[in-house]
Structure 1
Amino acid sequence: MPEPAVAGRYKLWDGPVRLVHWLLVGLIAFSWWSSEDHLNWHRWSGYAIIGLVIFRIWWGFAGGGAARFSSFVRGPATILGYLKTVGRRDPSDVPGHNPLGALSVLAFLVVLLAQVGTGLFAVDIDAFEAGPMSDRVSFETGRQIAEIHELTFRVLQGLVVLHVLAVLFYLVWKRTDLIGPMITGKRALPSDPGLAAAPWWRLALGVALAGAIAWALSKGLRF
């Protein structure tokens, strides 16, 4: 597919953003596969997802360049203005997430938080398998939370389908490859967006914070 007229390929997505993105892709698929007959693996996959989501939220404030929420989250007027351009065949040259993509990112984070959060309290129908914090609620409440856990996964599946369709739409109609940059970190753009990287200590602190919270939740907040 042809790219827009560009001056070169410039750094867009940093390593942490790309790693979180692809790990979430794999873990969501793995959690789906393990949800019936491999519940122990399913739980550990959920803990890993918790850590990744917490880190991504941290990185949205502490990261650099296109990783920051402030670089892509926009108000209603900007979103509506961008909607008017979606039908055009002009390749998208927005560095980072466009205003609609920003909504997708926020929706994924919210639904994933709901998904893993309910999983911590969910109880199966025989009370044989349960989340690490299920003893904080009654059996009936745990079963209701399990139903919400299932429902949020259906919502997550819908978001995944919409995301894939959007990527294909941009590739075929707007002649903009969104997959390659999420692999290489670089994208063809009219000019260098000049996105600054975050210092290493913010990365280390975010990893430690996310790991500590995920570990604590896996233990039911008991130490």
Structure 2
Amino acid sequence: MAGPDIKVWDPLVRLFHWSLVASFAIAWLTADDWRDLHEWAGYAAGALIAFRLLWGFAGPRYARFSQFVRSPGTIARYLGSMLRGGEVRYVGHNPAGGAMIIALILCMGGTALTGWMYTRDAFWGVDWVLATHETLANTMLALVALHVLGVVVASLRHRENLARAMVVGRKRAPGIGDVA
């Protein structure tokens, strides 16, 4: 029996999330064949990252960095409890999810920045810029795979569909032992 649910992810967080998914997918798929579309998808990703940085300070409770950015020790303890199968449920992002958000923001921001740099005359043909861009894009793909794996694991462990929550914005209300 499902309990009551609460609003967690605001519309702008959800729009940001799925728009970033789309812009990264488009940029990844068009990297070799459609330069203009690839660049515009990169610009969109960069703008989305800039928005998310602002929203991390000005947005509602669960969008704020202060709600989900945790210390390395807290993240390590949470990952250890996950390995033992005893992690607590978080209504917002858990410590591992919070760390993943920061990693994704940094990696996508760096990918967008180096992509933009490569379009400028000052950096056109500069090997380290292109190499860094490609490395960050490949790292981003690996982070996305880890992110999806984490969402699946957390969804199964806590018996809630986290992907659905990022569409509708609602999650199960906190219960005993959950971190609100």
TM-score by length of 1: 0.73
Match of 2:154 in 1: 170
Q: Is the 8 A contact 1:89 1:175 kept in 2?
A: no
Name stretches of at least 5 consecutive residues in structure 2 with no aligned partner.
Answer: none
1:69 equivalent in alignment to 2:65: yes
Distance 1:147 1:53 in 2: 21
Match of 2:123 in 1: 137
1:102 equivalent in alignment to 2:98: yes
Distance 2:90 2:124 in 1: 49
Structure showing greater relative contact order (alpha-carbon pairs closer than 8 Å, 6 or more residues apart): 1
SS at match of 2:160: coil
1:185 equivalent in alignment to 2:169: yes
Q: Residues 86-128 of structure 1, C-alpha deviation per residue, up to 9 Å, x if partnerless?
A: 1455685312110110110000010011101110122xxxxxx
Distance 1:87 1:137 in 2: 44
SS at match of 1:95: coil
Out of 2, 10, 15, the position equivalent to 2:6 is 10
Distance 1:22 1:74 in 2: 24
How far residue 59 of structure 1 moved from its aligned partner, in angstroms, is: 0.2
Match of 2:143 in 1: 159
Amino acid at match of 1:135: D
Name stretches of at least 5 consecutive residues in structure 1 with no aligned partner.
Answer: 123-130, 196-223
Match of 1:52 in 2: 48
Amino acid at match of 2:30: S
Out of 108, 114, 118, the position equivalent to 2:114 is 118
Distance 2:137 2:113 in 1: 12
Q: Residues 114-151 of structure 1, C-alpha deviation per residue, up to 9 Å, x if partnerless?
A: 101110122xxxxxxxx1xx212363x2x321121111
How far residue 177 of structure 1 moved from its aligned partner, in angstroms, is: 2.1
Distance 1:26 1:120 in 2: 18
Amino acid at match of 2:149: L
**Aligned-residue CA RMSD (Å):** 2.2
Match of 2:30 in 1: 34
TM-score by length of 2: 0.89
Residues paired across the two proteins, number? 177
Amino acid at match of 1:190: P
Identity %: 35
The structure whose residues are more often helix, as a share, is 2
Distance 2:157 2:58 in 1: 34
